Structure 1
Amino acid sequence: MGGPDTVRRWSAEALDYLDLEARAVPRVPLHRVPLPPQWDIALHVHDESAQPTGSVNHRLIRGHFREAVESGRINEDTTVVTATGSTAAVAAAYFARLLDLPFIAVVPERTSAERIAEIETHGGKCVRWGPAVTLQDEGRRIAAENDGHFLDHFVGTDLALAHEADTLASDLFANLAETDHPVPDWIVVGASTGATSSVLGRHLRHQGYPTKLAVVDSENSAYFPGWISGAADYTTGTATRIDGVGRPRVEPGFHFRLVDLLIPVPDAASIAAMRHLRACTGLESGPSTGTHLWGVWELVSVMRRDGLTGSVATVLADGAEHHRHTYWNDAWVTRQGWHPDPYLATIEGFLASGEWVPPDGR
Structure 2
Amino acid sequence: MNTADSTATPNLIQPLQVEGRAWVNGALEQLKREAARSADTHLLHVELPAYPGIAFYFKDESAHPSGSLKHRLARSLFLYALCNGRLREGQAVVDASSGSTAISEAWFARMLGLTFTAVMPASTAPQKIRDVQALGGRCDLVEDAGTVHARAAEHARSGACHLDQFGLAERATDWRGNNNIAESIIGQLALEPCKVPTWIVCGAGTGGTSATIGRYLRYRGLDTQLCVAEPTGAAFAHGWQTRDRTVLASQPTLIEGIGRPCVEPGFIFEVVDAVEQVDDADSIAAAWLLEDLLGYRYGGSSGTNFAACLRLAEAMRARGETGSIVTLLCDRGERYRETLYDPAWLAERGVNPSAALKTIRASIGCV
* Distance of 2:351 and 2:237 partners within structure 1: 21
Deviation of the 1:6 alpha carbon: 4.0
* Distance of 2:59 and 2:147 partners within structure 1: 34
Q: Is residue 362 of structure 2 the alignment partner of residue 349 of structure 1? A: yes
1:148 match: 160
Q: Partner amino acid for 1:217?
A: E
Q: Partner amino acid for 1:158?
A: E
1:357 match: none
Q: Deviations over 1:310-344 (max 9, x none)?
A: 11110101111221111111111222211212221
Deviation of the 1:239 alpha carbon: 4.2
* Distance of 2:184 and 2:198 partners within structure 1: 17
The structure 2 residue matched to 1:165, chosen from 178, 181, 184, is 178
1:58 match: 71
* Distance of 1:82 and 1:169 partners within structure 2: 25
The structure 2 residue matched to 1:235, chosen from 245, 248, 254, is 248
1:299 match: 312
* Distance of 1:159 and 1:312 partners within structure 2: 26
Q: How many pairs are equivalent?
A: 350
Deviation of the 1:258 alpha carbon: 0.2
1:356 match: none
- Do 1:221 and 1:236's aligned partners in 2 also have CA atoms closer than 8 Å? yes
* Runs of 4 or more above 4 Å deviation: none
User: Secondary structure of 1:174's partner?
Assistant: helix
- Cα gap change, 1:122 to 1:168, in 2 (>3 Å): same
Unaligned runs of 5+ in 2: 1-15
Q: Partner amino acid for 1:300?
A: A
TM-score (norm 2): 0.91
* Distance of 1:295 and 1:17 partners within structure 2: 38
Unaligned runs of 5+ in 1: 354-362
Deviation of the 1:221 alpha carbon: 1.0
* Distance of 1:248 and 1:61 partners within structure 2: 22
The structure 2 residue matched to 1:131, chosen from 144, 167, 172, is 144
Deviation of the 1:114 alpha carbon: 1.2
Q: Is residue 53 of structure 2 the alignment partner of residue 40 of structure 1? A: yes
* Distance of 1:293 and 1:245 partners within structure 2: 14
Which residues in structure 2 correspond to 1:244-259 (within 5 Å)? 244-259=257-272
Q: Deviations over 1:114-158 (max 9, x none)?
A: 11111011111112222222221112112322x111121001223
Deviation of the 1:282 alpha carbon: 1.2
* Distance of 1:123 and 1:45 partners within structure 2: 31
1:210 match: 223
Which residues in structure 2 correspond to 1:249-328 (within 5 Å)? 249-328=262-341
Q: Deviations over 1:265-287 (max 9, x none)?
A: 00100001011111122132100
The structure 2 residue matched to 1:188, chosen from 196, 201, 204, is 201
Deviation of the 1:98 alpha carbon: 1.1
Higher Rg of the two aligned structures = 2
The structure 2 residue matched to 1:26, chosen from 19, 33, 39, is 39
* Distance of 1:255 and 1:181 partners within structure 2: 27
Q: Is residue 122 of structure 2 the alignment partner of residue 109 of structure 1? A: yes
- Cα gap change, 1:260 to 1:38, in 2 (>3 Å): closer
RMSD across aligned C-alpha pairs, in angstroms? 1.8
Identity %: 36
* Distance of 2:25 and 2:293 partners within structure 1: 47
Deviation of the 1:302 alpha carbon: 0.4
* Distance of 1:340 and 1:290 partners within structure 2: 12
* Distance of 1:5 and 1:251 partners within structure 2: 34
